Structure 1
């Protein structure tokens, strides 16, 4: 046996382990190494599948052999090779290898398939070995030689090495195939989720939305930093997604970070990553969101919440396109398109010293304002129809529709929570309407009473708990003022223009001031007490000039 050929074959097999090859090609090259090493005329790799041995690669047989299955019970030679496997033997070769006598009368499964002058296997040398993967017989490898003495001088150590390496190749090929399948499945699932999430359209035909769509189309194809600003719930993240999907980076990742949700101690690690040992609990290296978004887009929501210390490091990444992981001084280059969003007035934050002026100018290269829902007119009804279609699928309700009175109420409401509030309100209203109707009703109509909202036109029917005292003339006004205690809410229309907005503002000013006093000027507690979002309360206080 030629040691040189054996070493060359081993080198080839080991080299192939590091290469990305299709499974069939990996097996074909493996069998070629067997033939080169042992100078046989045919070599076949067969996998045990149920009661059959199925060829996975064949070298030296006619092509049609690859289309056959060999029932073990019908082929005594194959059956003996498999039966020879003995778990208790200490000799690896003896427990796996079975060699047949040259004049063995058992029929050969490859008769008519081997490449000989007459296609027949008469007197020849034949042997096979069981291949064991994870302590279970995986299949067999067989060798046939027309020379009856071909395997007389076969080195058992070489044979054992080739068997062991073959098992390694098979297991490696199976692992690579399984990983490839897993990756493909995950990619399909991810693509499906992305399509489902990103296919959400920006619904609306109002002039404000038409202008926003034009701005998005204009900025999307560039790599300019975009700042999306607007009230909470107005759809800023949807705008960021649309910018990404319309950009040249659409096939790359869009990584989203809510800066307001990050603890201050973890912001740097989340954005820029860390190395093992950087802080207690950092047991291994971790990529930050910037590196995860490399070649793609990073969307930083609520950018106004970033601490000043992090703002300086963010500025460096934007300026130079490189970052340092926490605990490391090694720079890492990144190519990221940055989109940010905020519901704060960043210019005022800069004036107050809470936001860096230089970072502000870097982020606002192209600002886009998302209109509030109250600015969008009949878009409210278009959005309502879209949400109702989704709700009826989720909840299993038949056709959901709005009554004319419900449409009027939706259009009259101010929507402090914007699109998000509309979606949540319709979800609750749908459940109320469903409870009022029979399950088999073809159409479920949402009435204004299901919406449970109060518009400006409803000011005359305010909750009795608020008990406002309204005066419309001088005499009544004086009487009311004399009888009212300090905490009473008094609405006086005297010397006013009597506009509904003015009266509503007057009531809201008194009511919010009263609730603030009851909650020791704690705006968060006041917001909880009156059932509104704190940011919405702050905006309302600012508009009403409540200190």
Structure 2
């Protein structure tokens, strides 16, 4: 029997099947050409039980079974031997596959059973079993043939298990990287908070440009949240499952900037003890966010332009040109048009970066977003400081809306954090901690000045009383508007130009009062 088997051909087939996604099934298929049977199974040893990895000729539910060795003496006997084991057709030990064969209907017992234990360096990996309804099916197979097959199958099974492990590990690592990447992108919620018209327009622009691969230039003052905008563009793009790599151009040392961008080879310069990938290689397939792009040295601007034009990069210390697929999002608080005009920034790079420019409005231009953002930061700070309930008093909210916020959202976050800490210290015994104006340290006077802007046509009339108004030759509507103008102006002055306080005194809704004042030409201008 053994002379009729071409073991070289069997070994080649097994080797070819190793990389097959169904390599375990392929192992049984190859063995079918050597050992004829009604059913076969490949089982992996997991602790004190055997788990089927592939089956042929058995009921489909067999794959879901787990065979405890202590409950299946035949399988236990195979595991306890070093050599192939064939059971006599009249062996009294119960067969684990009785009634599970597809060859016949009904609960027909298995008549012949053969087992090959699979070892690697004396460690049992699993077993292969063959079953037949023919009691003499395996009698003609020599011990030498079975021993050779056992050796070949053991080596194949070890390799297949290792490849499956590496594949699973790679999938796990990839999933972990994606999860960590997504967690980083969505930290602090990842949401752009605000309902102002400026923010709504920004959100619409983000969704529009995110679907493309255009380079984006994010403009805005310090602290407005340019990085958050970049994260949202990436999250809504087709590259969202790929990395978003951040690089602050302002922190780059000029002599190491090229290495940061494009990586370096071992020995490329003093201190380069090992090869290192640059940010472009790390961002391959994803997005590279270049913060403070206005600080980038001119010498590096030309090399960045080359990447944007052709996707080509050259690692420091290597001659080979590599290609990367990276979307670039840049941000700056500088006026790049002015920088270009004064020769500090390349015009061609500016136009490459600003395919789709986005401007993030400063906080002072975002209407009532201050209160929404304050609530967001209050909730965040409460978690950080382990405060069960933290809130802003009405007066504190009013104070926040009156301030000009030169440091924008970042300054608001820091003010809330400090204020919460001070409130916690002064109210540690209370169940609800309340942030009050004195905790915020935002003194609007005298450092902040507030002026009432009145239309010229009413300047003389608003200082008078209702009697003065009656003496003027005015229509009923003109007189009503003039009196209303005078009353609102008076209440604003009395309440230190606080709209909410004035509205409470006049017993009207704050928003309605602001709209009415705007129609009458009254506006409050605040400056720091």
Same fold per TM (> 0.5)? Answer: yes
Aligned counterparts, 1:180-329, within 5 A = 180-196=171-187, 199-205=190-196, 207-213=197-203, 215-216=205-206, 219-247=209-237, 249-250=239-240, 252-280=242-270, 282=272, 285-329=275-319
* Deviation of the 1:5 alpha carbon: 4.9
Which residue number corresponds to residue 344 of structure 1?
334
Which residue number corresponds to residue 164 of structure 1?
155
Deviations 1:98-149 (A, max 9, x none): 4445665544444444466693444x4x442333468643332223464352
CA spacing shift, 1:46–1:158, aligned 2, 3 Å: closer
Give the number of aligned pairs. Answer: 444
Aligned-residue CA RMSD (Å): 3.4
**Retained in 2: the 8 A contact 1:102–1:148?**
no
CA spacing shift, 1:385–1:153, aligned 2, 3 Å: closer
Aligned match for 2:118, one of 131, 135, 138: 131
Deviations 1:165-215 (A, max 9, x none): 22322333234234434433543454454345674124241x544554455
Q: State the SS of the aligned residue for 1:338.
A: strand
CA spacing shift, 1:373–1:157, aligned 2, 3 Å: same
Asked if 1:450 corresponds to 2:439, the answer is yes
* Deviation of the 1:427 alpha carbon: 0.9
**Retained in 1: the 8 A contact 2:38–2:103?**
no
The 2-side partners of 1:100 and 1:253 are apart by 57
Which residue number corresponds to residue 467 of structure 2?
none
TM-score scaled to structure 1, two decimals?
A: 0.71
Which residue number corresponds to residue 57 of structure 1?
54
Deviations 1:328-351 (A, max 9, x none): 232223343322111223344345
Structure 2: unaligned runs, 5 residues or longer = 450-526
* Deviation of the 1:4 alpha carbon: 6.0
Which residue number corresponds to residue 540 of structure 1?
none
**Retained in 2: the 8 A contact 1:413–1:456?**
no
**Retained in 2: the 8 A contact 1:2–1:37?**
no
The 1-side partners of 2:206 and 2:180 are apart by 28
Aligned match for 2:78, one of 77, 81, 94: 81
Which residue number corresponds to residue 428 of structure 1?
418
CA spacing shift, 1:102–1:220, aligned 2, 3 Å: closer
Aligned match for 1:32, one of 29, 33, 57: 29
**Retained in 2: the 8 A contact 1:35–1:41?**
no
Q: State the SS of the aligned residue for 1:78.
A: helix
* Deviation of the 1:381 alpha carbon: 1.9
CA spacing shift, 1:162–1:281, aligned 2, 3 Å: farther
The 2-side partners of 1:355 and 1:63 are apart by 68
Aligned match for 1:397, one of 387, 394, 402: 387
**Retained in 2: the 8 A contact 1:40–1:150?**
no
The 1-side partners of 2:355 and 2:49 are apart by 68
Which residue number corresponds to residue 512 of structure 1?
none
* Deviation of the 1:233 alpha carbon: 0.9
* Deviation of the 1:237 alpha carbon: 1.3
TM-score scaled to structure 2, two decimals?
A: 0.73
The 1-side partners of 2:14 and 2:189 are apart by 45
* Deviation of the 1:241 alpha carbon: 2.7
Structure 1: unaligned runs, 5 residues or longer = 85-94, 461-542
Which residue number corresponds to residue 427 of structure 2?
437
* Deviation of the 1:420 alpha carbon: 0.7
CA spacing shift, 1:101–1:436, aligned 2, 3 Å: same
* Deviation of the 1:300 alpha carbon: 0.7
**Retained in 2: the 8 A contact 1:392–1:398?**
yes
**Retained in 2: the 8 A contact 1:311–1:359?**
yes
**Retained in 2: the 8 A contact 1:274–1:325?**
yes
Deviations 1:17-37 (A, max 9, x none): 224x2xxx3322212222223
CA spacing shift, 1:298–1:48, aligned 2, 3 Å: closer
Which residue number corresponds to residue 523 of structure 2?
none
- Which deviates the most, 157-166 or 425-434? 157-166
